[in-house]
Amino acid sequence: MNEAIRALQAAMERDGYVAEPAVATAVYLATEMRKPLLVEGEAGVGKTELAKVLARVLGTELIRLQCYEGLDANTALYEWNYQRQLLRLRIAEREPHDPAALEDLIFGREYLLERPLLRAITRRAGPPVLLVDEIDRADDGFEAFLLEVLSDFQVTVPELGTIAATHVPHVVLTSNRTREIGDALRRRCLYLYVEHPSFEKELRILRGKVPGLDERLARAITRFVQALRRRDLRKLPGVAETIDWAQALLRLRQDRLDAEVVGVTLGCLLKDEHDLRQTVDAALAELVAHASSPG
């Protein structure tokens, strides 16, 4: 593996993100080639955290655009501060003003409220990390608009003209695959698929994220969650849920797993009624016995 990639991998791990060579390589290439990185995977596998860690490693600002159904270009780009504009107009009523000059005044940059996409483009203190989170939740129209922005890294504000990026941002897009992303956007990006972690990786994450956790309990928690993911569940628990559960058991001063404690804390891991009903009684006892075994 390239020395620079190894250094990036080590820096990410020092910041609490355990990255395999494939992950570190994808992040390195995205930053070096200045191409967006599309990260797909199940919820809770660390896609959003990857962008946060990258911003910290690069020592730059993280600008996050959270996508949702109905998100439009204006909301993602900019809005005018109508209250300040109206106030300026009222002040101007007391003074003689040329109408054209007044229009230029109230549509100046100081009255522009920059939303995430525009702020990422106009940032002057070096390139930020732009996180476009859960792009699969936005509709096709916004995806097409985003593709245009990512191609040129410039936007047009009718009242101000075209604004080009001062520094091209590092872009990370995440998707939970609730909707298929279009081929045009995929071709524009480098691609990374993040799976649920292996036993050893998840154990390393627990050691780093939950200091003070007993090693035996950490192994039991990891075995339990790994076995739980092999069951027929609607929503598999992610690493974030594993960490939450470990912190909960730590606060309950548990040093081992037993069926009673697991049963009352299962809501830390499972967030669906069907899954909770599927993981009771005999199934729960079996999972606890497996997790508690020394193998």
Q: 10-14, 99-103, 177-181, 199-203: lowest mean pLDDT where?
A: 99-103
**What CATH number labels 3-79+107-194?**
3.40.50.300
The full set of domain ranges for the chain reads: 3-79+107-194, 199-292
- At residue 93, the pLDDT reads 67
Q: What is the mean pLDDT of residues 24-49?
A: 95
Do the beta carbons of residue 60 and residue 129 sit within 8 Å?
yes
The residue among 279 and 100 whose pLDDT is bigger is 279
**Tens of pLDDT, residues 71-118:** 988 889 888 777 776 776 776 666 666 666 666 666 767 777 889 999
Q: For residue 158, what are the contacts with CB-CB under 8 A and spacing of at least 6?
A: none
DSSP characters over 168-196: PPEEEEEE-SSSPPPHHHHHHSEEEEEPP
Q: What is the mean pLDDT of residues 184-196?
A: 95
The pTM of this model reads 0.85
Q: Which two tokens stand for residue 194?
A: 């993040």
